[in-house]
Structure 1
Amino acid sequence: MRGRIIKISGPVVVAELDASMYEIVRVGEEKLIGEVIEIRGNKAIIQVYEDTVGLRIGEPVERTFRPLSVELGPGLLGSIFDGLERPLDQIYNLNNSVFIKRGIDIRSLNRDKKWHFVRTLKENKVRIGEVIGYVQETPSIRHKIISPYSGQIQDLKDGEYKLEDPIGYVETSSGKKELKLYQSWPVRIPRPVQEKFGTEIPLITGIRVIDSLFPIAKGGVVAIPGPFGSGKTVTQQSLAKYSDADIVVYIGCGERGNEMTEVLVEFPHLKDPKTGSALMNRTVLIANTSNMPVAAREASIYVGITIAEYFRDMGYDVALMADSTSRWAEALREISGRLEEMPGEEGYPAYLSKKIAEFYERAGRVKTLNGDIASITVIGAVSPPGGDLSEPVSQNTLRVVKGFLALDASLAQRRHFPSINWLRSYSLYRDIVYEYYRKNIDPNFPDNLQMISKLLQREAELQEIVQLVGPDALPEREQFVLVIGRMIREDFLQQNAFDEIDAYTSLEKQALMINAIISYYNKGLKHLDNGTKTIQELRSNPIVDRIARMKMASNDEIREILKMIEVF
């Protein structure tokens, strides 16, 4: 069926067309991709995911009779897609240009490549969501093939198959259905699960300030707000590189082209610390830069979370990085304005909080339809203008997330990275994760971390007094708190994401480092109380220099420092 354009307003097009809500349509002579977002009588309001420059009144609009969907199958890992799941490398080869040609129609997954399928299903009956076999997609990841139907299996055999080849058949109540290596799924509909659980297991990141003070749980939701230049992207890249998730989905939503270029160039050459193979072997990249049409930003968010759900349904723990959700909210604001909707706070649509909540609620630790326990952890960057956390996107995100890693421009200016402000950030997963640390890492680790938090809080209070009267006016015990506070900040919390050794710290090493700092603090207080050491002697002790070099030390070397503190 065809209609015609009667109004154009930037990325929003109005057409006389009998269509369904959220149906994909082809707009104009160039067949631009659009989605029906509102219907008024016989008029369909369409948000176009491509540039509408040159589009004219009266041009045709064609229905496709399907919603915005993604292709899910072998070939996703290691690929780089745009916001509509179109492979950027194939687009480049097709166009021989770095720019995406309008109206380009290209399949997401390679139809020519053959994959070796291995059947694992033992019975001849199958249910929806059950794993029937696998393809060894990369050296480290088995791509499990999930049945989209329930019924009696026929002719399901091992062999070499292309994506369009039937690997078997299912006799369902509505007839015989082909099984293929891939399937499609509408991006706005969450994939079903059997059950959703609470979070219990930490997502180990190797970033000391996160693992120790503001831990993340698998299946959790975390926001990283911060102003320009505070290190949001580098923090998310570090989380993508070193977190102990099985699969990483990285969405560059409306980010600057140079930042996405850094990701695209760097990731293929990075080694996975878990397997030693290329990090891209377990990564899916979605690049939707700030110069691309704004409507596609919303699509990129939904495409990314749907791909994450697909790998979760295989039984994998997935970490999804969305950088940045503020750009997506800005796209919603622009589309809402074009639709002439009643604006909410700061011009954002009234349904902003609903959209943000819907996205983050698709995270979680679940029991899949196949019976596996798996999770999606969503870590979303927020870019508040001028670092103002009272603006609507930050506030609506705060209502949903349980982890809040507030980046501080003043810390970034002092070259303290990650610039996570330890006084403004919080994690509601702390009690659960600390219990895990107590049982699996070190019984004293959680208590030491609580002491670290108290010392940092006390140091901040004392710094205000120092600015008025100077440090020498404080009692020696309080001066020693300042020494230890600086030690915690510079020798533990500060971390170089670009150093081979310092970029990742195991939980065992973190526990030893914290133990060394707390042991020196307790020993120093005893000396001050007994009058056996002065504050100057505690500041200049060789142990302080050894603690300062702990970042680069091995676990055995830190144990030697602990022995030195014992006899000190």
Structure 2
Amino acid sequence: MSQADTTVREDGIIDSVSGPVVTAVDLDARMNDVVYVGEEGLMGEVIEIEGDITTVQVYEETSGVAPGEPVENTGEPLTVDLGPGLLDSIYDGVQRPLDVLQDKMNSAFLDRGVDAPGIDLEKEWEFVPEVEEGDAVEPGDVVGTVPETVTIEHKVLVPPNSEGGEVTAVEEGEFTVEETVVELDSGEEIRMRQEWPVREPRPAGDKKTPTEPLLTGQRVQDGLFPIAKGGTAAIPGPFGSGKTVTQQQLAKWSDADIVVYIGCGERGNEMTEVIEDFPELPDPQTGNPLMARTTLIANTSNMPVAARESCVYTGITIAEYYRDMGYDVALMADSTSRWAEAMREISSRLEEMPGEEGYPAYLAARLSQFYERAGYFDNINGTEGSISVVGAVSPPGGDFSEPVTQNTLRIVKCFWALDADLAERRHFPSINWDESYSLYREQLDPWFEENVSDDWPEVRQWAVDVLDEEGELQEIVQLVGKDALPEDQQLTLEIARYIREAWLQQNAFHDVDTYCEPDKTYLILTTIKTFSDEAFDALEAGVPVEEISDVEALPRINRIGVQEEYEAYMDELKDDITEQIRELY
């Protein structure tokens, strides 16, 4: 929302200032109204009203703001601009386009009080109508399309709060987002631009049980702990365990139509890497630039804390807008712990009664409200769309018993627990297969059986059983050493090592290994299983485990992931393993 485009009036004056929290008196406002604070017109939001005292959280640095300065009320809640131009854009937490603000300031550092619309109000878009005069339209219906990027066709929708009606006039050609493209008999004019309050979920139909996976291109996730389109997942892990890289991998390679990436309170250099890398990356689905289907929201740790609290709402509202068009959207929030810390800071300045570890008592409710906006929906216009939400969690010291992790665990159905010990051993992604889980596996198995292989669940369960047995054997190995184990258990440890190193480990910075399609994920595991079957046959025939482990073909298993022409390579490798082991007996 632009200050220039909003009718404001001076309604009150500042009474006190405490960091991003400002109290005002004589302000005629409602909860969640957007106000402009002080002589510089800093954007803020009403978060508490008690008698004549109105409390405002300000989305910018408040140093220099003094009691007695004016507070102006817009009478509207915090909203986002929705329309063509959202994709290939980088915003701050309240949807101010950072590239536009940089051009205004001619500097990488933004002045306070500067503002700009969320989408370009002057750019003209080619509008292709989908309705004719006399057609009846209802809220959510598609009235036309716009080629927003080379990848995504933007569908212009009747606003959800519209009364609908009969089309009396339709335009075709190039228009700005504020020009009327469709008129209804009720007198309503439909434009390409909509506004929507960020804290209010956009209306949708029934939420359905998802049955299709969100393919991530990461073997440990697609193979062991899959997430559904419309599902929710959490990635908790201590500092340095790879949360951000894992999130970025999901944003780069997931097969969603639209990606919304929220950098919430993370270090500036990590967001810089995203901003620099994404425009250069090709989309594995289309070959077009990845940014052509991506919106980035950057609210780094040095940005105002209050805007951090609102950035996740900005992101999920944009995601809901594209869901309403019938697209599958993947939203990455990195990290929800920084969001919770922002809530804690605001809550403490409001002098609210603290809950566990100082977090506000409504922490669990806010997390639930956020994750509940994910799902696979029947839209009100008859289409289907989904929002998959993946939230990173940064527990202090890697303590998963802290409130944000525990409250997130109660909500999400997919848990990818990052392990500092694995990260120290340079095993990435450092997802601990013993602590992680997915409650989507059974409902997604039919898809994998139909699209990958009939025995996908059985092969996956074999890998899980081997890893479980390895975990039990490692406790014995630490006490008595590997050589004290029977040969069959020594062989199990060798097979588990290949599962860990060749299958679960994946190099995010290797041109080939960074992305692994489901067929390749399956074939790598079946190659390891081929070795397992042949090795145990040889062991039963009396071949010592040392000779089996010295088979020349085995080191090639660890190079499977980097093979581009993988099908022929794996067929040849399976034949070599079988032939060489059988020569031993």
Query: Residue 432 of structure 1: CA displacement?
Result: 1.5
Deviations 1:216-242 (A, max 9, x none): 100000000001111001101110111
What is the TM-score of this pair, normalised by structure 1? 0.98
Q: Does 1:109 align with 2:119?
A: yes
Q: Does 1:382 align with 2:396?
A: no
Query: Residue 105 of structure 1: CA displacement?
Result: 2.3
| Structure 1 partner of 2:302 | 291
Q: Contact 2:551–2:577 at 8 Å: present in 1 too?
A: no
**What letter corresponds to residue 551 of structure 2 in structure 1?**
N
Among 144, 160, 184, the alignment partner of 2:155 is 144
Query: Residue 439 of structure 1: CA displacement?
Result: 2.1
| Structure 1 partner of 2:101 | 91
| Structure 2 partner of 1:48 | 58
| Structure 1 partner of 2:446 | 435
SS of residue matched to 2:296: strand
| Structure 1 partner of 2:4 | none
SS of residue matched to 1:66: strand
Deviations 1:378-406 (A, max 9, x none): 00000000100000000000000000100
Q: Does 1:558 align with 2:581?
A: no
Q: Contact 1:216–1:403 at 8 Å: present in 2 too?
A: yes
| Structure 2 partner of 1:402 | 413
Q: Contact 1:368–1:374 at 8 Å: present in 2 too?
A: yes
Query: Residue 171 of structure 1: CA displacement?
Result: 2.6
Query: Residue 119 of structure 1: CA displacement?
Result: 0.7
Query: Residue 147 of structure 1: CA displacement?
Result: 0.7
SS of residue matched to 1:223: strand
Q: Contact 1:226–1:409 at 8 Å: present in 2 too?
A: yes
Q: Distance in 1 between matches of 2:463 and 2:530?
A: 12
Q: Distance in 2 between matches of 1:538 and 1:238?
A: 36
| Structure 2 partner of 1:329 | 340
| Structure 1 partner of 2:19 | 10
Q: Distance in 1 between matches of 2:199 and 2:400?
A: 28
Deviations 1:152-188 (A, max 9, x none): 212112111011211121233xxx1221111000000
Query: Residue 474 of structure 1: CA displacement?
Result: 0.3
Query: Within 5 A, what are the aligned runs for 1:34-433?
Result: 34-122=44-132, 124-148=135-159, 149=162, 150-172=164-186, 176-433=187-444
Q: How many residues align?
A: 564
| Structure 2 partner of 1:24 | 34
Query: Residue 34 of structure 1: CA displacement?
Result: 0.6
| Structure 1 partner of 2:3 | none
The range that moved more, 489-498 or 513-522, is 513-522
Q: Distance in 2 between matches of 1:306 and 1:378?
A: 12
Q: Distance in 1 between matches of 2:571 and 2:369?
A: 47
| Structure 1 partner of 2:474 | 463
Deviations 1:455-474 (A, max 9, x none): 11111111111111111100
Query: Residue 307 of structure 1: CA displacement?
Result: 0.1
Displaced runs of 4 or more, over 6 A: none
**What letter corresponds to residue 541 of structure 2 in structure 1?**
N
Q: Distance in 1 between matches of 2:362 and 2:403?
A: 11
**What letter corresponds to residue 444 of structure 1 in structure 2?**
D
The range that moved more, 3-12 or 547-556, is 547-556
SS of residue matched to 1:230: coil
Q: Distance in 1 between matches of 2:507 and 2:339?
A: 30
**What letter corresponds to residue 571 of structure 2 in structure 1?**
R
| Structure 2 partner of 1:487 | 498
Deviations 1:51-109 (A, max 9, x none): 11001011100110100000000011100001110000110010111112111121111
Deviations 1:528-551 (A, max 9, x none): 1221x2101111112312222211
Q: Distance in 2 between matches of 1:121 and 1:420?
A: 49
SS of residue matched to 1:453: helix
SS of residue matched to 2:283: coil
Q: Distance in 1 between matches of 2:40 and 2:484?
A: 75
What is the TM-score of this pair, normalised by structure 2? 0.95
Q: Distance in 2 between matches of 1:120 and 1:331?
A: 44
Unmatched tracts of structure 2, length 5 or more? 1-8
Q: Contact 1:18–1:43 at 8 Å: present in 2 too?
A: no
Q: Distance in 2 between matches of 1:350 and 1:171?
A: 49
Q: Does 1:478 align with 2:492?
A: no
Q: Does 1:537 align with 2:551?
A: no
| Structure 2 partner of 1:520 | 531
Percent of matched pairs sharing the same residue:
56
Query: Residue 566 of structure 1: CA displacement?
Result: 4.4
Q: Contact 2:140–2:324 at 8 Å: present in 1 too?
A: yes
Q: Distance in 2 between matches of 1:170 and 1:402?
A: 44
SS of residue matched to 1:255: coil
**What letter corresponds to residue 563 of structure 1 in structure 2?**
D
SS of residue matched to 2:553: helix
Q: Distance in 2 between matches of 1:446 and 1:514?
A: 12
Query: Residue 565 of structure 1: CA displacement?
Result: 4.0
Q: Distance in 2 between matches of 1:546 and 1:39?
A: 67
Deviations 1:220-277 (A, max 9, x none): 0000000111100110111011100000000000010000000011111111111111
Q: Distance in 2 between matches of 1:412 and 1:23?
A: 45
**What letter corresponds to residue 202 of structure 1 in structure 2?**
P
Q: Contact 2:143–2:182 at 8 Å: present in 1 too?
A: no
**What letter corresponds to residue 538 of structure 1 in structure 2?**
I
Q: Distance in 2 between matches of 1:314 and 1:279?
A: 20
**What letter corresponds to residue 300 of structure 1 in structure 2?**
C
Deviations 1:270-303 (A, max 9, x none): 1111111100000000000001111101111000
Q: Distance in 2 between matches of 1:563 and 1:365?
A: 43
Q: Contact 2:554–2:577 at 8 Å: present in 1 too?
A: no
